A and B are shown apart, each in its own frame.
Chain A
Amino acid sequence: GQNIDQPTEMTATEGAIVQINCTYQTSGFNGLFWYQQHAGEAPTFLSYNVLDGLEEKGRFSSFLSRSKGYSYLLLKELQMKDSASYLCAVSNHTGGFKTIFGAGTRLFVKA
């Protein structure tokens, strides 16, 4: 089966840097995704990693270590609008591409 773990909540200060960790267990690994979800809205795609290393996209970066089953999302220069839930998701190849989500990390950005 699949298992994804991430912290329930985090708090950080505007302008700071925050790292949200995710560990996972799966077979047939075909990529790890990070999504952002604001309250009352649908999840929106942030980043994708399938190879080890760091992917940078503006203020957001995502890292993957397949051997450790570990990823993190790094948010720089935090803004109030970054207050949201961040969902780690893993895709595996099982007759299609099945994507399972972690419970999400609620990030609170304070002034």
Chain B
Amino acid sequence: DAGVIQSPRHEVTEMGQEVTLRCKPISGHNSLFWYRQTMMRGLELLIYFNNNVPIDDSGMPEDRFSAKMPNASFSTLKIQPSEPRDSAVYFCASSMGHPGGGNTIYFGEGSWLTVV
């Protein structure tokens, strides 16, 4: 079975440009998570969705960040305008969203973003 699929894998962009990161969760999973990882701050939860509905976006750093999940098989994380401090690895992850072991999350390979 295909795992979580993210694109792009790597992106280098200039400050002020819009960045869109894409994610396809594992088929049948109904929870989707966006994380950001940096050396300084570790793995931070930005937002998560359950059945396509945003449940908790308290980790979204500021209004420049937005996330959508228009259907069960697709989500985007957008940064507009981007800034150098947004440089990080952005991971998308999904889980079945069931109690117990059914909430194990599985990660995509990450999108490595560099803003210059």
Contact = CB atoms under 8 A, between A and B. Distances in A.
Interface of A: 30-31, 33, 41-45, 48, 50, 87, 91, 93-104
Contact of A96 (B43, B55, B104): B55
Nearest to B110: A42
Given A45-B104, A101-B42, A93 B99 contact: yes
Interface residues of B, number: 25
B109 interface: yes
B34 interface: no
Contact of A91 (B49, B91, B103): B103
Contacts of B55: 94-96, 98
Contacts of B56: 94-96, 98
Interface of B is mostly: strand
Contacts, number: 64
Interface string B40-73: 0011010011100001100000000000000000
11 contacts: A42-B107, A42-B108, A43-B107, A95-B50, A97-B31, A97-B50, A98-B45, A98-B56, A99-B103, A99-B105, A104-B43
Contact of A97 (B42, B43, B97, B109): B97
A50 B101 contact: yes
B74 interface: no
Interface in B60-116: 91, 95, 97, 99-101, 103-110
Given A94-B56, A101-B43, A48 B108 contact: no
Contacts of B35: 101
Contact of B45 (A31, A87, A95, A99): A99
A11 to B, nearest CB: 19
